[in-house]
Chain A
Amino acid sequence: MSRIGVAFDKARADGRAVLVGCMPAGFPTVEGSIAAMKAMVSAGVDVIELEIPYSDPVMDGPVIQRASDIALAGGVRTRDALRIVEEVAATGAPVVTMTYWNPIERYGVDAFARDLAAAGGTGLITPDLIPEEADEWLAASDSHGLDRTFLVAPSSTDERLAMTTSHCRGFVYATALMGVTGARTQTSQAAPVLVARVREVTDLPVGVGLGVGTGAQAASVAGYADGVIVGSALIRCLLDAPDESTALAALTALSADLANGVRHPTP
């Protein structure tokens, strides 16, 4: 079983959901992003989703776009992201990477899988890769023992849900609403329906992302999903803060609030 799978099993045994916290590599700097993710783990984030910044992130809303632009302007490279994986994985928290397909293809699909595995990463979330285009990644992730997380959406047909989840390993990423990343005041009505549909076709744990920003929202998502995925709200802590210590304090407080939320699922 993958390390992510272990984290989901453990949480399930404790009657709670896993908290997945997302941060772009190299935002605001390489060292700054490592410090941020370590702070998140200390405050109760179970799994780190490390986004490797890409110049054209079509699934991301304004907050992650800005953070990615800052990271890229700072010169972050794919190999820096792999070093960050290694440093953050040393905390013991599973680190899963997320990125758009072109940076992976450019690095070399098998080479990336090899280096990600060597750095201690658990797998890859692919927001713009659907299984139909993923032959090379299916082979590379198999040969290097990595998890594969494809996305499912409210608009996915039952047939596609079955097909897509059959290619996933570790966990399935359910995009809670039709739209891009970004914290919202309300989480979606579509999400519980989607999760229920996913459960019809797979036993894999299901993480729900897009829109979660508070402990209360995390608690409500934890009521029906196995994992709560939070990105923009955490990143905003860093974007909005005047200096690093304020940023880390805000990040720690929000992480703790979210961690509390996933421990008190609301039905």
Chain B
Amino acid sequence: MSTEAPAGFPDAAGHFGRFGGRFVPEALVAALDELGAAHRTAMADETFRAEFAALLRDYAGTPSLLYEAHRFSARAGARVLLKREDLNHTGAHKVRNVLGQALLTRRMGKKRVIAETGAGQHGVAAATAAALFDLDCVVYMGQVDTERQALNVARMRMLGATVIPVTTGSRTLKDAMNEAMRDWVANVDDTHYLIGTAAGPHPFPALVRDFVRGIGDEARQQCLDLTGELPDAVTACVGGGSNALGIFHAFVDDPQVRLYGFEAGGEGVATGRHAASITGGSTGVLHGTRTYVLQDDDGQTVESHSISAGLDYPGVGPEHAWLHDTGRASYLPVTDDEAMAAFELLCRTEGIIPAIESSHALAGTLAVAGKLAAELGRPPTIVVNLSGRGDKDVHTAGGYFGILDGESA
């Protein structure tokens, strides 16, 4: 295992240690090569970088604040600094990825983007970027999800995207991803697959990581400015892994900064009803990459479960699998109930309604704060990636807490 490789940089074929790579139909190899070349030259191009930076600043509203959550901190027994990605345009870290990929789409001369979405967050972000860049946009969404996330379907349509319900397999996110890959195989000449997380075949994991890594670059400097020191720990939720990689990356070479990724433990990893691919899965190949996946003894993908649609995915980006293997980052499960308790706590202590995804990071932070305090002999400073806002989750959370008039929990 190439633990000696520089942190976070895959080899030329996209391997992070024994993970990553390309497990794709031959028909896609040329497009992935083209994308990889476009990614490399774009990242080396001052003009591209300046354009991306200007969009992030003027359109997305970054740098997002690093906010010291005093009342939440008191409850956590830690100095908790929230990286407020929830304040970005479209309400999550995902806007960074879609703007980067839309710029790259234009650079490659392509006119159409396709995307997969679970809850609809990435679909909305993709539709947003497509509107801004005048690109045709088709979003694949499992039929189960189009029904439970009707408002986000309407949002995407308002933005001019076509939403196609996927009726095969389990009719959820993983099937939407399959359908997006099928579309891409057939239309690769004029279409870019605007993938929603740091997963999939090389170069997607590295490319998405590069577009979201501003989260950590900003947070590192903001933390130094605010406290004069690096944090003791950085925490994030992990679905496919983009927001977590985005905030981890700037700290990977700071050995004193502990990195924690919190996976969706659903009803508990022991119940089998969860989405914790690293904690509760095994090594396999899914959606073009080798990583940890939820699978049965025959290698068939097992359906994931989480109260958080954005974490409800049976795989994880390969760089996280590798960070787990090398021990650089720690991955722990957080149950639905733990996440919802943290959701409520942030609402009540700070007047911030977090996304349920991000609530997993908050709950995990509460869980590790005590251990860290004991280890350090003082309250730890913890930077939490508050990856998104909870407006989209009002229905789910309202149902969970039994506070929707006319409905019971």
Q: Which residues of A contact B (CB under 8 A)?
A: 54-59, 61-62, 65-66, 69, 72, 77-78, 100-107, 127-130, 132-133, 150-157, 160, 164, 175, 178-180
**Counting chain B CB atoms within 10 Å of each CB, which of A103, A155, A156 scores highest?**
A155
**Chain A: CB-nearest residue to B15:** A133
If A56-B174, A130-B22 touch, whether A103 touches B298 (CB-CB below 8 Å) is yes
The reply to whether A155 and B29 form a contact with Cβ atoms under 8 Å apart is yes
Contact A78 B298 (CB under 8 A): yes
Interface segment among B68-76, B177-185, B256-264, B368-376: the answer is B177-185
Please determine whether A103 and B299 come into contact, CB atoms closer than 8 angstroms. Answer: yes
Asked whether, in the complex, the Cβ of B284 is within 8 Å of the Cβ of A102, the reply is yes
- Evaluate contact between A105 and B26: CB separation under 8 angstroms: no
Cα–Cα, bound, A157→B22 (Å): 17
Q: Are A128 and B288 in contact (CB under 8 A)?
A: yes
Chain B residue at minimal CB-CB distance from A127:
B25
Cα–Cα, bound, A179→B23 (Å)? 17
- Number of B interface residues in the complex (CB < 8 A): 36
The 7 closest A-B pairs by CB, nearest first: A106-B299, A153-B27, A179-B186, A103-B299, A155-B30, A102-B299, A55-B300
User: Once the chains are docked, how many angstroms separate the CA of A108 from the CA of B28?
Assistant: 26
Chain A residue at minimum C-beta to C-beta distance from B296: A106
Is B332 in contact with chain A by the CB < 8 A criterion? no
Bound: A101/B283 CA distance, A: 12
A66 near B168 with CB under 8 A, answer yes
Given A107-B298, A156-B29, A180-B182 in contact, is the A101-B285 Cβ separation under 8 Å?
yes
Q: Is B286 part of the contact surface with A, judged by Cβ < 8 Å?
A: yes
B182 proximity list for chain A (CB < 8 A)? 58-59, 61, 179-180
Q: Please indicate the chain A residues that have their CB under 8 angstroms from the CB of B181 in the complex.
A: 58
- B30 partner residues in chain A, CB cutoff 8 A: 153, 155-157, 160
Supply 12 A–B pairs (Cβ within 8 Å), ascending by A: A54-B299, A55-B300, A55-B301, A66-B168, A105-B285, A105-B299, A127-B25, A128-B23, A130-B29, A132-B22, A133-B21, A180-B186
Q: Is B226 an interface residue (CB 8 A)?
A: no
A153 to B297, CA, bound (A): 32
Task: Give the shortest distance, in Å, between A166 (CB) and chain B (any CB).
Answer: 14
CB of B308 closer than 8 Å to a CB of A:
no
- Tell yes or no: B381 within 8 A of A by CB: no
B188 adjacent to chain A (CB < 8 Å): yes
Q: Are A62 and B168 in contact (CB under 8 A)?
A: yes
Complex Cα–Cα for A44 and B185 (A): 32
Q: What residues of B have a CB within 8 angstroms of the CB of A151 in the complex?
A: 25-27
How far in angstroms is the closest Cβ of chain B from A8?
21
A87 to chain B minimum Cβ distance, whole angstroms, is 19
B169 within 8 A of A: yes
B235 at the interface (CB under 8 A from A): no
Q: Which residues of B contact A (CB under 8 A)?
A: 13, 21-31, 168-169, 174-175, 178, 181-182, 185-189, 284-288, 293, 295, 297-301
Neighbour of A107 across the interface among B178, B285, B299, CB < 8 A:
B299
Cβ of B25: which chain A residues have Cβ within 8 Å of it?
A: 58-59, 127-128, 151, 153, 175
Q: Which of B23, B26, B284, B286 has the most CB atoms of chain A within a 10 A radius of its CB?
A: B26
B29 x A55 contact (CB < 8 A): no
A56-B23 in contact (CB<8A)? no
**Quick one: given A69-B168, A103-B300, A155-B31, are A57 and B26 in contact (CB under 8 Å)?**
no
Q: Name which of A69, A78, A103, A175 has the most chain B CB atoms within 10 A of its CB.
A: A103
CB proximity of B108 to chain A, nearest CB, Å: 15
Q: Name the residue of chain B whose CB is nearest to the CB of A155.
A: B30
Q: How far is the CA of A78 from the CA of B296 in the complex (A)?
A: 12
Within 8 Å by CB of A106, from B174, B186, B188, B295, lies B295
- Tell me the bound Cα distance from A213 to B168 in angstroms: 22
Q: Which residue of A lies closest to B168 (CB)?
A: A65
Would you call B26 and A56 a contact (CB within 8 A)? Answer: no
CA A245 to CA B181, docked complex, whole Å? 36
**Which residues of A lie under 8 Å from residue B295 when comparing CB positions?**
102, 106
What residue in chain B is nearest A152 (Cβ atoms)?
B26
Q: Is the CB of B300 within 8 A of A130?
A: no
Q: Which residue of A lies closest to B287 (CB)?
A: A56
Q: Looking across the interface, which residue of chain B has its beta carbon closest to that of A52?
A: B298
B298 touches A105 (CB 8 A): no
Instruction: Select A179's contact among B31, B168, B185, beta carbons within 8 Å.
Output: B185
Residues of B close to A69: CB separation below 8 A: 168-169
Beyond A106-B295, A155-B30, A175-B26, 18 additional pairs, beta carbon < 8 A: A56-B174, A57-B178, A59-B25, A66-B168, A72-B300, A78-B299, A102-B284, A105-B284, A106-B297, A128-B285, A130-B26, A151-B26, A151-B27, A153-B26, A155-B188, A178-B186, A178-B188, A179-B27
In the complex with contacts A55-B300, A105-B299, A133-B21, A178-B185 CB distance below 8 A: yes
* In the bound complex, CA of A66 to CA of B144 (Å): 17
CA distance A67 to B13 in the complex (A): 34
Contact B29 A160 (CB under 8 A): yes
Most chain B CB within a 10 A radius of its CB, from A54, A56, A78: A56
Question: Which residues of B lie under 8 Å from residue A180 when comparing CB positions?
Answer: 182, 185-186
Known: A61-B182, A164-B26, A178-B185. A106 touches B298 (CB 8 A): yes
The residue on B at minimum CB distance from A173 is B26
Cβ of B287: which chain A residues have Cβ within 8 Å of it? Answer: 56, 58
